[in-house]
């Protein structure tokens, strides 16, 4: 772990997984308004484009594209995480080390980051993000999970016929055809046009 080095490419697109320390918590959805405020304020100070985002009770996944010449996603996550915890009461259990360092026990120290390599890689992670509420069994339809950029993606792509029925059900469920979000979006617009679209601001 000590030898881990993050990929840093200016202006690139990255996939992230960020977890709470307590994996049984529902803090992220319980404090969704606060989280949105922290992300919005961070983007004002340190701009980045949100390609996709889903917030689950104790973790979240997202795709970001950084500005040209900028590879400092670590600063942005530090600002978001710090802004979030500083507005929460100190009720979480702390280790002796955390207490000594004046740290909070809300977030896991590390997060997962992946540099998007190409359009196929982008599509795969875009789909993974939006299908996560189904994967974890929180809903049976993607449209029923409110903390996701799925709704904005559907609106931006103008999915007619499919969007109205919201037939993105759990793979294998009866009465629905297994279909990826990407392929559905592409019925209305080439996927490459989505990459430059501002999909979500505060809808996740």
**Residue in 127, 114, 194 with CA at minimum distance from that of residue 157:** 194
What's the burial of 54, exposed, middle or buried (CB within 10 Å: 0-12/13-18/19+)? buried
DSSP symbols for 57-103: SSEEEEEEEPPTT---HHHHHHHHHHHHHHTS-S-S---HHHHHHT-
Do 126 and 63 meet the contact criterion of CB atoms below 8 Å apart? yes
Please tell me which residue in 111, 122, 128, 147 is annotated as part of the active site. 147
Whether 147 is catalytic: yes
**Residues labelled catalytic:** 147
């Amino acid at each position: 772990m000590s030898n881990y080095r993050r990929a840093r490419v200016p202006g690139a697109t990255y996939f992230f997984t960020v977890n709470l320390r307590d994996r049984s918590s529902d803090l992220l959805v319980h404090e969704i308004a606060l989280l949105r405020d922290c992300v919005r304020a961070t983007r004002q100070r340190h701009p980045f484009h949100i390609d996709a985002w889903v917030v689950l009770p104790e973790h979240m996944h997202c795709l970001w594209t950084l500005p040209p010449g900028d590879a400092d996603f670590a600063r942005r996550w530090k600002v978001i995480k710090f802004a979030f915890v500083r507005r929460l009461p100190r009720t979480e259990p702390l280790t002796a080390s955390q207490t000594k360092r004046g740290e909070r026990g809300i977030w896991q120290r590390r997060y997962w980051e992946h540099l998007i390599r190409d359009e196929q890689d982008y599509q795969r992670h875009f789909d993974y993000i939006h299908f996560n509420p189904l994967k974890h069994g929180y809903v049976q339809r993607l449209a029923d999970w409110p903390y996701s950029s799925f709704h904005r993606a559907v609106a931006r792509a103008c999915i007619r016929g499919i969007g109205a029925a919201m037939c993105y059900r759990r793979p294998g469920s009866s009465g629905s055809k297994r279909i990826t979000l990407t392929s559905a979006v592409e019925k209305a617009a080439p996927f490459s046009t989505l990459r430059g679209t501002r999909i979500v601001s505060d809808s996740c």
